[in-house]
Structure 1
């Protein structure tokens, strides 16, 4: 017959094994990111990291592999300046559960699958029209004087 000490030990070990790789179980090894390009739609964007490359037309949702690497984004559209941005990779809080319940094995699983990292659910890459001209007064111009195109 099992003593209450053995039952308690078994329960702790069982829970630790079941909860190891908490972030992998809770969040998985992929992340969905909604990419937009305000103030327009229809920008062609390439997202790239060491995990791969993804091409989308905004607005779009793209599923990427989780990684500790940031994702580089480049968006283009005729009539607009090319835009670049970086989608940051952030530490996933569920990984802390491994330190408590799963120990080094759970942390190792999350690190190997990329699940210990996460990306934002939504990301904007602002686009600027090519014909957007700033009007500024020349140096020394009194206020209220007519503005001229900045060269």
Structure 2
């Protein structure tokens, strides 16, 4: 039984994953709340750059740095939207104390992200464009 308890952290670590799948992002342009198809956009991350025409979906791979979308269309000002990847895992520290039967125990717990620099991009990006 003692060996099973010692193996539990190893088994849990083996189940952890940082995710290696791609990230598909739907990109749209809009002006005053109305869809604006046909805008030429450049989608950039730390992993690369993609040229698209809205509406479009682009697979940017694993999140790497900021997601930057720059769109142009005749009659409209160039617009840019920037997102930083949001991380589902945060860093935190916890402290606890307990006792009973004449004993006192103190514990410290740490939580830290498994994936360094990871996170998620939004699944949909709408770039707001203003007329010239």
TM-score w.r.t. length of structure 1: 0.60
Aligned-pair distance for 1:79? 2.1
Alignment pair present for 1:49 and 2:51: no
Deviates more, 1:46-55 or 1:80-89: 80-89
Stretches of structure 2 that go unaligned for 5 or more consecutive residues are 93-109
Question: Which has a greater percent of strand?
Answer: 2
Whole-Å separation in 2 of the counterparts to 1:71 and 1:81: 20
Q: How many residues align?
A: 110
Write out aligned runs for 1:1-151 (5 A).
4-19=1-16, 21=17, 24-25=18-19, 28-38=20-30, 39=34, 40-65=36-61, 66-67=63-64, 69-93=65-89, 107=114, 110-111=115-116, 114=117, 116-130=118-132
Q: In the superposition, relative to structure 1, how do residues 45 and 95 fare at CA in structure 2: closer, same or farther (>3 Å)? A: farther
Stretches of structure 1 that go unaligned for 5 or more consecutive residues are 131-151
TM-score w.r.t. length of structure 2: 0.68
What is the root-mean-square deviation in Å for CA atoms of aligned residues?
2.6
Return the index of the structure with the highest Cα Rg: 1
